[in-house]
């Protein structure tokens, strides 16, 4: 029985890539560095904002902290102008909630930005737990935040499932020793995820619901 589903955010719950790409390039432009392509941005996301900016700026820059601070300050409000839900998502999530499944978010996105993004698309209490990078825990694939969320929600790990689209999500599920289902509508290919040990995949939200409720 599935009691709680932990969702990654970027590439799993929300297609945030266009807004992330725009924000990164605004930072690069401000400091006079070459902008990066959308495909580069896609390959850089998944390990938190700090890693994203480390990958985006030229190597050995002297003002990395200034670049990172500028990006963090401007991205913390959760830019959503180009962000969208995925096809069939809202109906799928409502179906799961209707069956008594707790929905939670575990993301490497900064905490304030994560909450701001989700507020734009979902009611305030739609998710039972929202955990982002607040500095309290190491980011995924460290399992600490996911385990803390399970304890907070009084949900045994044996009754939890992790749904994500990135390498960090695969490793988080493994590190927590819980079932993982990986989203092929996200920012990584099946082959990329399989390299990290992913076994179960969903092509879309409709298929995900079937896998979680069968």
Condensed to tens digits (0 to 9), the pLDDT of residues 173-214 reads: 999 999 999 999 999 999 999 999 999 999 999 999 999 998
Q: Tell me, yes or no, whether 24 and 101 share the same domain.
A: no
Chain CA centroid to CA 166, Å: 8
CA 165/CA 10 separation, integer angstroms:
8
Q: Tell me, yes or no, whether 136 and 189 share the same domain.
A: yes
Q: Tell me, yes or no, whether 34 and 131 share the same domain.
A: no
N-term to C-term CA, the chain? 9
Question: Among the three residues 51, 75, 99, which one is the final residue of a domain in this structure?
Answer: 75
Residue 140: give its domain's CATH number. Answer: 3.40.50.1000
How many distinct structural domains can be found in the chain? 2
Question: Among the three residues 36, 53, 75, which one is the final residue of a domain in this structure?
Answer: 75
Q: What integer pLDDT is reported at residue 70 of this predicted model?
A: 95
3-class DSSP assignment, residue 11: coil
Chain CA centroid to CA 161, Å: 15
Q: Tell me, yes or no, whether 34 and 121 share the same domain.
A: no
Q: Tell me, yes or no, whether 206 and 152 share the same domain.
A: yes
DSSP secondary structure string, 108-145?
EEEHHHHHHHHHHHS-TTSSSEEEEE-SSSPPTT-SHH
Q: What integer pLDDT is reported at residue 76 of this predicted model?
A: 67
Q: Tell me, yes or no, whether 9 and 108 share the same domain.
A: yes
pLDDT tens, per residue, the chain with 214 residues: 899 999 999 999 999 999 999 999 999 999 999 999 999 999 999 999 999 999 999 999 999 999 999 999 888 677 899 999 999 999 999 999 999 999 999 999 999 999 999 999 999 999 999 999 999 999 999 999 999 999 999 999 999 999 999 999 999 999 999 999 999 999 999 999 999 999 999 999 999 999 999 8
Q: Tell me, yes or no, whether 71 and 97 share the same domain.
A: no
Domain residues for 46? 17-75
Q: Tell me, yes or no, whether 138 and 64 share the same domain.
A: no
Q: Tell me, yes or no, whether 11 and 28 share the same domain.
A: no
Q: Tell me, yes or no, whether 167 and 133 share the same domain.
A: yes
Q: Tell me, yes or no, whether 180 and 147 share the same domain.
A: yes
Residue 45: give its domain's CATH number. Answer: 1.10.150
């Amino acid at each position: 029985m599935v009691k709680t589903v932990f969702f990654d955010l970027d590439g799993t719950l929300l297609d945030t890539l266009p807004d992330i790409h725009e924000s990164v390039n605004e930072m690069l432009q401000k400091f006079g560095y070459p902008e990066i392509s959308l495909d580069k941005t896609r390959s850089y996301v998944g390990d938190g904002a700090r890693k994203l900016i480390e990958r985006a700026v030229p190597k050995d820059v002297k003002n990395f902290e200034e670049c990172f601070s500028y990006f963090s300050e401007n991205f913390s409000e959760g830019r959503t102008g180009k962000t969208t839900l995925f096809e069939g998502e809202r109906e799928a999530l409502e179906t799961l909630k209707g069956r008594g499944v707790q929905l939670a978010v575990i993301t490497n996105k900064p905490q304030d930005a994560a909450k701001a993004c989700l507020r734009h698309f979902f009611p305030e209490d739609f998710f039972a737990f929202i955990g982002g990078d607040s500095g309290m825990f190491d980011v995924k694939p460290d399992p600490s935040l996911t385990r803390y969320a399970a304890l907070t929600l009084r949900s045994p790990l044996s009754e939890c499932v992790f749904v994500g689209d990135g390498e960090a999500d695969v490793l988080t599920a493994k590190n927590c020793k819980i079932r993982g289902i990986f989203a092929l509508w996200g920012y990584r290919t099946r082959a990329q995820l399989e390299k990290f040990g992913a076994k179960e995949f969903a092509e879309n939200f409709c298929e995900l619901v079937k896998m979680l409720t069968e």
